[in-house]
Copies of this chain bind each other. A is one copy, B any other.
Amino acid sequence: MAEGQEALLAKIKEQGDIVRSLKAAKESQEKIQQEVSKLLALKAQLGAENAVPQKFTLKTAKGTRDYNPQQMTIRNNVLDKIITVFKRHGAECIDTPVFELKDVLTGKYGEDSKLIYDLKDQGGEILSLRYDLTVPLARYLAMNKINTLKRYHIAKVYRRDNPAMTRGRYREFYQCDFDIAGQYDPMVPDSECLKVVTEILDVIDIGNYVLKVNHRRLLDGMFEACGVPDDKFRSTCSTVDKLDKATWEEVRTEMINEKGVTPEAADRIGEYVRLNGGIDLAEKLMKDEKLAKSKSAIEGLEGIMLLLKYCEILGIKDKILFDLSLARGLDYYTGVIYEAVLTQPIKIGKEEQTVGSIAGGGRYDNLVGMFDSKHKQVPCVGVSIGVERIFSVLEAKLAAGDISVRTSDVDVYVATAQKNFLEERLRVCAELWNAGIKTEHSYKKNPKMLNQLQHCEENRIPLAVVLGESELKRGLVKIRNIVTRQEDEVPRESLVDELQTRLASMNIKQINGPAK
């Protein structure tokens, strides 16, 4: 490395320290920017990036991971089940780019905006990686002037959060969303979203769960009734949202010390948020003296009652819990909100793991309007399935030996004990492939018989075709059942039929329960 460059690198480090100390001291934005601009100028002087000394570490980016074939099998298996449910409810599929103009994301996520990944300014547009699939959906609806859409979208989103990878929290992770956009009658699409969640959680069979529901208008009315000023509704709401992780005492302290709620108001809120129940609770609250005075509270309660009625008709009443402590973090919800949580820890090997929230969503009627030049609204309600948590539970079960996974679909392996039989193997493989049979063989010219059979066992390939010179001369080949080790001679010319008959009678699964 040139000496001049070393000096430059030292300067960059020094300047970086200055910026960091200013930030730590929470100095004025102006002062920080001034020093940042010096830092950028120094970095630019470094010139082409190949001049930077490279200490190469072989890894994926922080907070990201590869999916290996076992993980992909689990993932695709779960997603297939979810998509089946989405399609059963008539959802169409869309996709949007992984990055958006930064302006599209600006002002949508409140405090969390700092977690957005920006792209480098390489000349041209200023871009950011998508943070969720909801804002791109709203952009899509507004841009294409679409008023009604029932869509699902499964894709990765990006957040520069502190990763907790063992618990399934990554910087790059899947979202799996189902949303209904359109001007419809109250709670009809909303209740269908809840039905969708129950169908998915039932088919994935991950454990007992409860679907908590609440209503943003009721929360607003409750804050109003408790004496919280209008402009503090949202921030008080995000404090209430922490009740699933923190005690009421902690939440109360945050309300008073950080959000400027009076102790009296906080205590009144505290009485409400410990309430949960069914339609009877909603009816009781309708008669609550303080809430009855709030138009929003009445609106919210009427909404909840209608929703609970529809849920009863849909046969999912026993899975729903009206819970006044449910608040949800995001600003954009305007109506019903909901969250599915597992009611008991999951057993993985000999350990138990608490999973928590596994799906969530709600109504957001004003988001699309933020993108429309005339602020035309398209009301929306949707749900996001927490697939990463589901994946991480299943991966832990795999690691603990509770389940086993088959990563390739191969049904037939073409083997031989004979030397110089590669061409014959190729010929048979081509015939099977052309018949649509999932087939493999060794890419070695003269593989050992033992290795070939071992490959079948390791990959749970159910059948092998064993080619031998003497059999072929008699117009025969052997079919070997890998599990039972039984071998049958069949006519070479009816090999395809014979294999198809046998395969049709086998029940080959991708994911199996406890391994023997």
Contact = CB atoms under 8 A, between A and B. Distances in A.
Interface of A: 29-30, 33-34, 36-38, 40-45, 47-50, 54, 56-62, 64-69, 72-73, 75-76, 87-103, 106, 117-122, 124-127, 129, 139-140, 142-144, 150-151, 156, 158, 160, 172, 180, 182, 184-185, 188-189, 191-192, 195, 199, 310, 313-315, 371, 373, 407-410, 422-423, 426-427, 429-430, 433-434, 436-440, 443-445
Nearest to A410: B90
Nearest to A101: B61
A102 B119 CA distance: 13
B410 A61 contact: no
B438 A59 contact: no
Given A54-B106, A59-B143, A90-B410, 11 more contacts: A33-B47, A36-B44, A49-B106, A58-B373, A67-B95, A87-B409, A98-B156, A184-B443, A185-B444, A195-B433, A199-B433
Given A72-B92, A95-B72, A30 B47 contact: yes
Contacts of A37: 40-42, 44-45
Given A45-B33, A444-B184, A172 B61 contact: no
A69 B98 contact: no
Given A438-B88, A440-B90, A430 B195 contact: yes
A61 B30 contact: no
Nearest to A46: B33
Contact of A89 (B41, B47, B100, B433): B433
A50 B102 CA distance: 11
Given A47-B33, A310-B426, A445-B185, A407 B54 contact: no
A96 B408 contact: no
A73 to B, nearest CB: 7
A350 to B, nearest CB: 28
Contact of A423 (B40, B313, B423): B313
Contacts of A192: 443
Closest 4 CB pairs of A and B: A37-B44, A184-B443, A69-B92, A64-B97
A60 B96 contact: yes
A186 to B, nearest CB: 9
A41 to B, nearest CB: 4
Contact of A56 (B56, B103, B445): B103
**Central interface residue in A54, A97, A126, A191, by most chain B CB within 10 Å:** A97
Given A72-B95, A433-B88, A122 B47 contact: no
A57 B101 contact: yes
Nearest to A44: B37
A129 B433 CA distance: 36
B59 A140 contact: no
B96 A315 contact: no
Contacts of A409: 87-88, 90
Contacts of A172: 97-99
Contacts of A96: 60, 66-67
A87 B407 CA distance: 10
A34 B195 CA distance: 61
Contacts of A36: 44
Contact of A90 (B93, B124, B188, B439): B439
Contact of A445 (B62, B66, B88, B188): B188
A48 B440 CA distance: 58
A61 B97 contact: yes
Contacts of A98: 98, 129, 156, 158, 172
A180 B426 CA distance: 16
B67 A94 contact: yes
Contacts of A30: 47
Contacts of A33: 44-45, 47-48
A26 to B, nearest CB: 15
A33 B143 CA distance: 38
A58 B143 contact: yes
29 contacts: A33-B45, A37-B40, A49-B126, A54-B103, A58-B371, A59-B143, A60-B97, A60-B143, A61-B125, A62-B124, A62-B125, A64-B97, A66-B95, A66-B143, A67-B96, A72-B93, A75-B95, A87-B438, A90-B440, A91-B408, A92-B407, A92-B408, A98-B98, A98-B156, A99-B172, A122-B160, A185-B443, A189-B443, A313-B427
